[in-house]
């Protein structure tokens, strides 16, 4: 199913869905569910809400709040390739008070081996260093300089500041599951908390 806000207060850009179904060449690294991201250039452009090739996960409407910056620790990933390596580019963004916009503050490239089999491939954990005090992060995937579908599980995040003052600030914002009205076909989808996310603090 498509998803929008499946875990706590994090928002996922269009292009994300939850498996199963349909079947994928990879198995979840924990639990029974995992993410699938389909770049917009691979989607039917006549459908509503076409996703960009860059996947974004953010704190959504809390971007400018001083109590919602988070750290990104790791993500287990794999892509739709049986020969060429999967080149994942991770970019961390932080809200800038002066410009009132998010700016890129950290980035990292990870090359993951292709999956030569048609099923039961293993996702590869990618450890991310210095992805701290972010308000969003983006993931782009290229195989031989072309976008491809990719899968992920065990997204590991944590709040950057766990002091009581910041925790109280976060607690005042309602933690709710959001609806996405603009999925293909006009369906209303409610996404529930998933087992792919690990949260520290």
Q: What is the pLDDT of residues 101-119, one digit of tens each?
A: 999 999 999 999 999 988 8
Give 79's contacts (C-beta < 8 A, 6+ positions apart): 86, 88, 112, 114, 115, 141, 143, 148, 149, 150, 151
User: How many percent of the chain have pLDDT more than 70?
Assistant: 78
Coil vs helix vs strand at 48:
coil
Q: Look at residue 189 and tell me whether its pLDDT is greater than 90.
A: no
Under a CB-based contact definition with an 8 Å cutoff, are residues 161 and 123 in contact?
no
| DSSP run (H or E) holding 90 | strand 86-96
CA dihedral 34, 35, 36, 38 (to 10 degrees): 180
Q: What is the pLDDT of residues 123-132, one digit of tens each?
A: 999 999 999 9
pLDDT category, 183, cuts 50, 70, 90? very low
Judge contact between 89 and 107, C-beta under 8 A.
yes
- What domains are defined for the chain? 11-200 (2.60.120)
* Average of per-residue pLDDT values in the chain: 83
| pTM (predicted TM-score) | 0.82
What pLDDT does 166 receive? 94
> How much of the chain exceeds pLDDT 90, in percent?
61
Helices (H), 109-195: 164-171
pLDDT at residue 42, as a whole number:
86
């Amino acid at each position: 199913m498509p998803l929008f806000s499946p875990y706590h207060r994090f928002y996922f850009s269009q292009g994300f869905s939850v498996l199963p179904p349909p079947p994928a060449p990879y198995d979840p690294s924990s639990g029974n569910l995992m993410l699938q991201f389909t770049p917009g250039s691979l989607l039917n452009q006549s459908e509503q809400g076409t996703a960009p090739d860059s996947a974004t996960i953010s704190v959504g409407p809390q971007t400018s709040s001083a109590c919602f910056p988070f750290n990104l620790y790791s993500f287990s990933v794999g892509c739709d390739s049986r020969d060429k390596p999967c080149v994942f580019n991770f970019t961390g963004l932080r809200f800038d008070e002066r410009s009132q916009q998010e700016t890129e503050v950290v980035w990292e490239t990870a090359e993951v081996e292709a999956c030569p089999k048609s099923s039961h491939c293993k996702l590869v954990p990618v450890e991310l260093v210095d992805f701290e005090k972010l308000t969003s992060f983006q993931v782009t995937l290229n195989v031989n300089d072309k976008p491809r579908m990719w899968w992920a599980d065990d997204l590991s995040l944590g709040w950057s500041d766990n002091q009581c003052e910041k925790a109280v600030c976060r607690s005042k914002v309602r933690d709710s599951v959001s609806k996405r009205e603009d999925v293909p076909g006009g369906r209303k989808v409610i996404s529930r908390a998933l087992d792919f996310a690990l949260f520290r603090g």
